[in-house]
Structure 1
């Protein structure tokens, strides 16, 4: 992709919802506002997601047994939810970003495919 196409694609992402994965395993989901030459990214209306702590994972089977007596024994799999919090406007340093994903609705995906073809 040449520089002009890369710039146009980046510009088309402004206002879209991005999912940024950080080196410390946190995930930020928010509206893409801007970036700079150091690859820092500013997101608005952002939620931060964290994987459960090791102690929460360790205690999950016991908690499941207490809530659903007998059911946990039938299934060896226990789900533990990620924690989340609203953080609003955030700057994610470029050197901490490991992956960037575009979150789009099925309708947005179809429109993007049509635009690619033209």
Structure 2
């Protein structure tokens, strides 16, 4: 999944679960400080397991699996 957050960050990772408050858990997550599409050469920050609060989520997109 690709999750865009209200502060401009983008998280990309494998969807693991969600809860009643719309929080999302991502596995093998990477964080991009600005839109990943705008800076394709930028280095992501590796987060690993990440919990994304539902109230910070602006959009969620399905990404194709990595080869």
Task: Report the Cα distance in structure 1 between the residues aligned to 2:42 and 2:33, rounded to whole angstroms.
Answer: 5
Answer whether contact 1:50 1:83 (CA < 8 A) is retained: no
Map of 2:10 onto structure 1: 27
Structure 1 stretches of 4+ moved >2 Å: 79-83
Residue segments in structure 1 that go unaligned for 5+ positions in a row: 1-17, 52-78, 106-118
The alignment's C-alpha RMSD in Å is: 2.0
Task: Report the Cα distance in structure 1 between the residues aligned to 2:32 and 2:44, rounded to whole angstroms.
Answer: 4
Q: Name which structure has the greater RCO, CA cutoff 8 Å, separation 6+.
A: 2
Deviations 1:92-117 (A, max 9, x none): 00000000000025xxxxxxxxxxxx
Map of 1:84 onto structure 2: 44
Map of 1:49 onto structure 2: 32
SS in structure 2 at match of 1:95: helix
The TM-score, its normalising length taken from structure 2, stands at: 0.82
Residue segments in structure 2 that go unaligned for 5+ positions in a row: none
Larger radius of gyration: 1
